[in-house]
Amino acid sequence: MRRLFHLVLAAAIHVVLIAALLAPAVKSAEAQTRTTTVVQLGEALCHSLGCTACHAKELNVQAPDLHGLFNRNVTLSDGRTVRADEAYLRKSILEPREVVVAGFEPIMPSYRDVVTDEQVDDLLAYLKSLSPEPRQPNERPRRRRSGAD
């Protein structure tokens, strides 16, 4: 009887241990799915709001290419050089006249009254995904083969 009890106990401990080992993997898979969804929402918004009409990669005569923009330095028409961090991207969408990229006409409309805060977050997630290594604030930068950056 006692032996059986020990066996059952050992089995139960194994189940708990395996669950504990698997939980983080399941969690990160969930997080991944969520990120993909936000990025996809942002991409859809970019199409429906007309961003891609001006910012399409093939058309970058009119508007700057948004690929690889996140965390890059940008020179503005007033001579300032700023880092294209999240705050900059947000401002570019909500107050484009305040951060006009050098060499471009200030033709981008403000989306302040067009998008909700949540939609701005979706757009930001999408814009960040266009950079080869979108960095999370708490993620240590990884080495790139090219050594660029």
Count residues contacting ligand HEC (CB under 6 A)? 29
Residue 50 lies near ligand HEC (rule: CB under 6 A): yes
Residue 69 lies near ligand HEC (rule: CB under 6 A): yes
Residue 107 lies near ligand HEC (rule: CB under 6 A): yes
Rounded Cα gap, residues 50 and 101, in angstroms: 19
* CB contact at 8 A, 62 and 79: no
The residue among 31 and 132 lying less far from ligand HEC, judged by its C-beta, is 132
Rounded Cα gap, residues 72 and 131, in angstroms: 9
| Angle between helix 117-129 and helix 2-48 axes, rounded to 10 deg | 100
Stretch that binds ligand HEC, among 8-16, 18-26, 106-114, 132-140 (CB under 6 A): 106-114
Stretch that binds ligand HEC, among 17-25, 46-54, 130-138, 141-149 (CB under 6 A): 46-54
* CB contact at 8 A, 22 and 109: no
Rounded Cα gap, residues 34 and 44, in angstroms: 15
The residue among 34 and 83 lying less far from ligand HEC, judged by its C-beta, is 83
Residue 140 structure tokens: 């240590």
Residue 70 lies near ligand HEC (rule: CB under 6 A): no
Rounded Cα gap, residues 149 and 146, in angstroms: 9
Instruction: Tell the residue number behind the tokens 């995904």, with chain if given.
Output: 129
**Which residue in 38, 43, 71, 89 binds ligand HEC (CB under 6 A)?**
89
CB of 72 to ligand HEC, least distance (A): 8
* CB contact at 8 A, 129 and 39: yes
Binding site for ligand HEC (CB under 6 A): 46, 49-51, 53-55, 62-64, 66, 69, 74, 84, 89, 92-93, 96, 99-101, 104-108, 111, 123, 127
